Amino acid sequence: MSVIGWLPPAVRRPVVRTVLSGLRLARSPQWTPPAAPAEIRPGPLVVTGFMNEVLGVGRAGRMTADALEAAGWPVVRHDLRPSFFRIRRAGMTLPTERDGGVWMIHANAPEAEIAFLTHQPQAWAGRYRIGYWAWETPKAPAAWVRAAPWFHEIWATSRYTRDALAAAFRAEGRADLEPRLKVMPHPLPDVGGAKADPRRFGLEPGAFNVLSAFDARSTFVRKNPMGAVEAWRRAFPQPRPDARLTVKAVKLEADPARARALYAAVADRPDIRVLDEELTDAGVLDLVASVDAFLSLHRAEGFGLSLAEAMALGKVVVATGWSGPLDFLDADSAALVDFGLAPIRDPSGMYRGGEWAEPDLDQAAGLLRALADDPERRRRIGDAARRKVAGLAGAWSGETLRAGAWAGLVG
């Protein structure tokens, strides 16, 4: 797979899909369908994910393990990344000698298949299996359906993701899998320790500081940082000394051409800068705590973790009013941007077919101007945001978790 890794994303993805499809056909006859919960012995709770990476799904996986532990369950944390270097053979074991219990794979269907492909089938045959998935367009890929039957439950990060998965199941003639879907929002971190420090992040103290953040591996076109920059330029045709936009980027090398275009778009603007720096989880919260507003003109989100964290910190969020974040965004707790639906065009090949949002950049510009001049409005919306997003915590209470079919199998 190392040679494949050097290919451009639009070429690499179909090659990887073909390779994995062949391996699945060869190995899946050895896999065991989910057993009835009554047939599974109590055992450990293993949470598998990208536990050591600066990656949105990795951050979410760590927070899931933290939330389960906070609710009273001991968690065996398991890093999925080594599996990617063992795809040609299925000899790996889980980091526990005990059978039974629960195996949660906090990664999407393609990565879950890699977990199945690379681990000895007997290592997970007798475990209750939970997938934790997010998807960003109205229908999940058809290939995801083939991974679903191997799980007892599939947690969807939002109602939008659940509906996207259900649409894929129905399209592939597997409506019988829909009952396995459960909406489970990401848990949020304890933000009480976040420390605002504008100078540490090169922000202008006392100015209206706005943050937009994205990971280039999640594709430029979906995250739409260029839309954020254009909305800012329309809001402030001439740079203002009291207004600053920071575009926080991760892994720009994943799309060098669009990275160059992003830098070119801000080259003549001293009030806009690109911050290409990897931060720890705590560092991310400190950065968000240091700004006044969070800007996300995404075309689609399966959940919107960065938006939820900003709201938890009492920041006003200016965001496209569509897709997963609407589970916790409304007109009272955020500055929602109108949109029209447009055909998906993603040169990376990650998203194919269907429609997603095209945010109204002029309206976004107007919202930014209004917020820049109205700190009281920012405070009011930020307070409402903090209250609104706090409602997500109910899904992660001990009482709610204990009601799950899996809970009695951990011990």
From 1.10.357, 1.20.1740, 3.40.470, 3.40.50, which CATH number describes the 42-187 domain?
A: 3.40.50
In angstroms, the CA 324 to CA 276 distance is 26
In angstroms, the CA 188 to CA 191 distance is 8
Helices (H), 71-190: 109-118, 121-124, 159-171
The structure tokens listed for 186 are 């990401």
So what's the pLDDT on residue 23?
A: 76
Closest CA to 316 of 377, 378, 390, 389: 378
So what's the pLDDT on residue 4?
A: 44
pLDDT band at 1 (very low <50, low <70, confident <90, very high): very low
Give phi and psi for 14, each to the nearest 5.
-65, -30
Q: List residues bridging with 132 in a β-sheet.
A: 155
pLDDT in tens, 26-52: 778 889 999 999 999 999 999 999 999
For the chain, the average pLDDT equals 94
Q: List residues bridging with 119 in a β-sheet.
A: 92
Which amino acid does the sequence have at 154? I
Which amino acid does the sequence have at 321? G
So what's the pLDDT on residue 2?
A: 44
pTM passes above 0.75:
yes
Which amino acid does the sequence have at 203? L
Please state the domain extents for the chain: 42-187, 198-393
Give phi and psi for 356, each to the nearest 5.
-145, 180
In angstroms, the CA 263 to CA 255 distance is 13
In angstroms, the CA 87 to CA 119 distance is 9
Domains 42-187 and 198-393 share a fold: yes
pLDDT band at 54 (very low <50, low <70, confident <90, very high): confident
Give helix 256-266 / helix 225-235 axis angle, nearest 10°.
10
Cβ–Cβ under 8 Å, residues 37 and 128? yes
**pLDDT at residue 390 greater than cutoff 90:** yes
User: So what's the architecture of 198-393 in CATH?
Assistant: 3-Layer(aba) Sandwich (3.40)
